[in-house]
Structure 1
């Protein structure tokens, strides 16, 4: 059983975002079946956010919680504004909003307490100490059990952890998204903070060829998925799939096993939260547990991250990658 700073969550969690309409239309019955299958398969950590589907994803998870609350370690997030004004702020982290957001999530989820409550994106107008101070009050009141941060820099993590212990940092980490290894992960390891890796399969890019994206697909918003960069990045996906074949496992299992190897090498407890709409994919992903990759596989995968064309976000300043560039530039 993998722990995040003492919170038992299992070796993998389930990322709920794909069950909102971010990669195209979905339906509630299939989404509920997928969530139930995840729990049946032994997953404990269910990860959602108030912004996914403008709150609909939390309500969906809430329907499952009404039947199976004791089986779930619940994680949700706040801070992304669902309907920002044109040209206005897209994130909020002021103490008043922290309280407003948590009450909204509790209502949609139908629960009295959230095990792991993440600050989804950093509001540049509010010192992170103020936001974490407000979250610490929720912990003292028993509304929130533990605090998480998403897409923070190493310096922001240090400052936040000085106010209240942080259980987990959640950021993108995969074979083709490795910027967090420079500073965030070493800092998390030193502080005893766990790491929750979202998009561990590269938003599907590492699993199967991605050549054309349908209308409504969230990946259209990411630079590395535009037509020109997709073509430039194609050899990365091809290498991943070739290495997986040589190892006798699927590309998804390779990507998840690689994260496990990296976590051990860098001294951080890592829990990936792959997202899917297909129950059989959950079983495939969980089968990565215990896989150890050969030295040849690790050597073949090592240089791929440096070859990626395109940042992992359109507004790179919103994520740790962009802000750490700014910090490094002085």
Structure 2
């Protein structure tokens, strides 16, 4: 194991009242399978292994990222180091051979089928946190969680998580089996969970793994890189929103520069300051991006800095297009 300073000095955060202790930043691996433009498998493996060397323990993937490609990459990277990481897997999204989306399937038989393939691709005997990627409107959440609970009893899954679901679904799921964390988008640009969802998590003893903390690169000034980059179709990156948001991002970059931080570090440090009990999941595709993100841990923000950042950033546009927003249980009030 590496004895890098980050490992020896960093606190850990417990995932919920029943989950594992994890490093305060997680590594999101989705971008390593082409969702944000070209990738390099060797660099992806290096990034995951460097993260482990630096103390990162939570790796987040999905069985539908690159139609299994992502799990194969994670499996390669953790070979021989399984005991150093916790693997979080999302399942349930259906894909076509052309990469198209086919809805959700979280029936109990499908849950067990998806898990069998994930174990094989990852090269592991057990998955640490298993979660449906979205709510399947055709299947009661109790049935899905019950099926995962059976897999916990059988020793194939350690803990159960949720993703992008609202208050009622969280309560119903937690009544079947303890939930360790909800995965949900949260950033300077996406703060809606603060109103109702985060208070319920606190009440029930559930943690959160927070993705999109850089708002898909928006907060760092990153731009879509062609038609294969799905950000080209998101409201915040297009039309009038694009111009307004570029002004806000320029202000954020100046603020970061004045404090000797990169915009990415500032965005991550803001989340750590606002939600110290939760885990930001940072989607680094390269070692350089990973090192930049880890730098946020050494630069905590004061309350005054947090307030100043919030006054600078007012992002225009929804986080997804209207059709996708309609299907997000977490956005139903």
The two structures share one fold, judged by TM-score above 0.5? yes
Distance 2:318 2:329 in 1: 12
Is the contact between residue 219 and residue 263 of structure 2 (CA under 8 Å) also seen in structure 1? yes
| Structure 2 CA distance for aligned equivalents of residues 195 and 178 of structure 1 | 13
* 2:303 counterpart of 1:301: no
- Name the structure 2 match of 1:328: none
SS in 2 for 1:145: strand
1:294 & 1:143 partners in 2: Cα distance?
Answer: 42
Q: Distance in 2 between matches of 1:279 and 1:141?
A: 37
- Structure 1 residues 241-256: aligned runs within 5 Å: 241-256=253-268
Give, in angstroms, the shift of residue 88 of structure 1. 9.0
1:160 equivalent to 2:160? Answer no
Runs of 4+ more than 3 Å apart:
84-89
Q: What is the CA-CA distance between 1:83 and the residue it aligns to?
A: 2.3
**Distance change in 2, residues 1:304/1:49 (3 Å):** farther
Q: Determine if contact 2:95/2:102 at 8 Å carries over to the other structure.
A: no
Q: Is the counterpart of residue 2 in structure 1 residue 2 in structure 2?
A: no
1:310 aligns with 2:317: yes
Question: Shift of residue 2 of structure 1?
Answer: 1.3
RMSD (Å), alpha carbons: 2.1
- Matching of residue 224 in structure 1 with residue 231 in structure 2: no
Counterpart in the other structure of 2:299: 291
Distance 1:222 1:88, change over 3 A: closer
Cα pair distance change 1:313/1:282, threshold 3 Å: same
Alpha-carbon separation, structure 1, partners of 2:41 and 2:286: 13
Match of 1:274 in 2: 282
What are the superposed Cα offsets for residues 14-36 of structure 1, whole Å, 9 maximum, x if unpaired?
00011101111212212111111
From 48, 51, 56, the equivalent of 1:35 is: 48
Residues 1-330 of structure 1: pairs in structure 2 closer than 5 A: 1-5=12-16, 6-83=19-96, 90-208=103-221, 210=223, 213-264=225-276, 269-303=277-311, 307-314=314-321, 315-324=324-333
Distance 1:74 1:34 in 2: 15
Q: Deviations over 1:272-311 (max 9, x none)?
A: 1111222122122112115332343222232566x32221
Aligned residue-pair number: 318
TM-score of the superposed pair, with normalisation by structure 2: 0.90
Deviations 1:90-118 (A, max 9, x none): 01111111111111111111111000111
For 1:304 and 1:98, how far apart are their aligned partners in 2? 44
What is the deviation of 1:319?
Answer: 2.2
- What secondary structure is seen at the aligned counterpart in 1 of 2:34? coil
Q: CA deviation at 1:186?
A: 1.1
Change (3 A) 1:88 1:64: closer
SS of residue in 1 equivalent to 2:129: strand
Structure 2: runs of 5+ lacking an equivalent: 1-11
Compared CA separation, residues 244 and 86, structure 1 to 2 (3 A): closer
Contact 1:10–1:44, Cα closer than 8 Å, also in 2: yes
Structure 1 residues 47 and 224: alpha-carbon distance in aligned structure 2, compared to 1, 3 A threshold? same
